[in-house]
Amino acid sequence: MKYQIKQWVRCCESCQRSKIQRHTKTPLGTFSFPDARFTHIHIDIVGPLPPSEGQIYLLTIIDRFSRWPEAVPIPDMRAKTICRAIFDTWISRFGCPSVVTSDQGSQLRSSVCVEFTRMLGTQKIKTTPYHPISNGIVERFRRHLKSAIKAHENEKWSELIPIILLGIRTAVKEDLQSSCSELVYSTTLRLPCDMIDASDIPPCDIEFITDLRHRMQQLNPVATSAHCTDRFYIHPSLKSSSHIWTRRLAQISIYHTLRQVN
């Protein structure tokens, strides 16, 4: 009788709709560790922002290996505008990437972007909806960029982008133990504070300079690691089920949708 009752409850639509004991949670996919510069980039769009010299949005790009960032002010979010900005700023300097990761924005899924990536021979990866951590490397860059723009309190934010990018590119990252400019150019960038007259500075010890150069030549990027520690659960009978209930987070209705398992 226990078996019959269990099967009957499984066939009851009201019971399956309301008596949810544990949700299915599958593990997320992980990116392979990058082994070369400018082969895998992440892109995203910031905005709309207050108009500044005709620009309303920011196209943000970051290299997964070196963490080299780019921020391009653009007037709109059209697919043609985005593709032109990527080509003029990133591809013209660093070449065509092998992989591009972005969210599922409509302009990034348009036929123009699909044809653009196909022409470049680039693989397009779309992140999971409602899960910004999938594109976390560029989301973190966006947060730093927006906080820096707010700190300047200047309405013409488009004029601030170059100096903000200079600070981000020269900042030492703890996980890499170096700045992204060192990973790209194998040396540090000269900052405005370095323009101070060096005549009053006493000469350095030759032995110290030699040791410093030797250590700089031994700099290597630290391999990235996954920090996700969530527990996952997959119901044992999921593979053998003919129908399942799926949760639609984008809908206001509390009812779920019953769909057939392919």
**pLDDT at site 231:** 65
Place 260 in a pLDDT band, splitting at 50, 70 and 90: very low
Domain boundaries, the chain: 40-131+141-150
Residue 256, pLDDT score: 43
CA 42, 46, 52: angle at the middle one, nearest 5? 135
Residues 174-191, mean pLDDT to the nearest whole number = 79
- d(C-alpha 148, C-alpha 131), whole Å: 25
Question: What pLDDT band is residue 226 in, cutting at 50, 70 and 90?
Answer: low
Model confidence pLDDT, tens digit, residues 183-222:
888 777 777 766 555 555 566 667 777 777 777 777 665 5
Dump pLDDT digits (tens) for 2-15. Answer: 778 777 777 777 77
Buried b (16+ CB within 10 A) or exposed e, 131-140: eeebbebbbe
pLDDT at 147 over 70: yes
The model's confidence at residue 254, banded by pLDDT at 50, 70 and 90, is: very low
Overall average pLDDT of the 18-47 stretch: 75
Question: In the prediction, which pLDDT does 133 show?
Answer: 75
> Which percentage of the chain shows pLDDT scores above 70?
76
CA angle 226, 105, 245 (to 5 degrees): 75
Residue 87: is its pLDDT beyond 80? Answer: yes
User: What's the pLDDT score for residue 255?
Assistant: 41
* Residue of 175 and 96 predicted with greater confidence: 96
Q: What is the CA radius of gyration of the chain?
A: 25
Decide if pLDDT at 130 tops 80: no
Nearest to 171 by CA among 182, 161, 162: 182
Contacts by 82-91, CB closer than 8 A, 24 or more apart? 82/45, 82/107, 82/108, 82/113, 83/112, 83/113, 83/116, 85/59, 86/43, 86/59, 86/61, 86/116, 89/61, 90/41, 90/61, 91/120
Q: Which CATH number fits domain 40-131+141-150: 3.30.420.10, 1.10.10.10, 3.90.1150.10, 3.50.50.60?
A: 3.30.420.10
Q: pLDDT grade, residue 258 (50/70/90)?
A: very low
Q: Is the pLDDT of residue 253 over 50?
A: no
Average pLDDT score over the chain: 77
Position 232 scores a pLDDT of: 66
> String of b and e for 196-207 (b: at least 16 CB within 10 Å)?
eeeeeeeeeeee
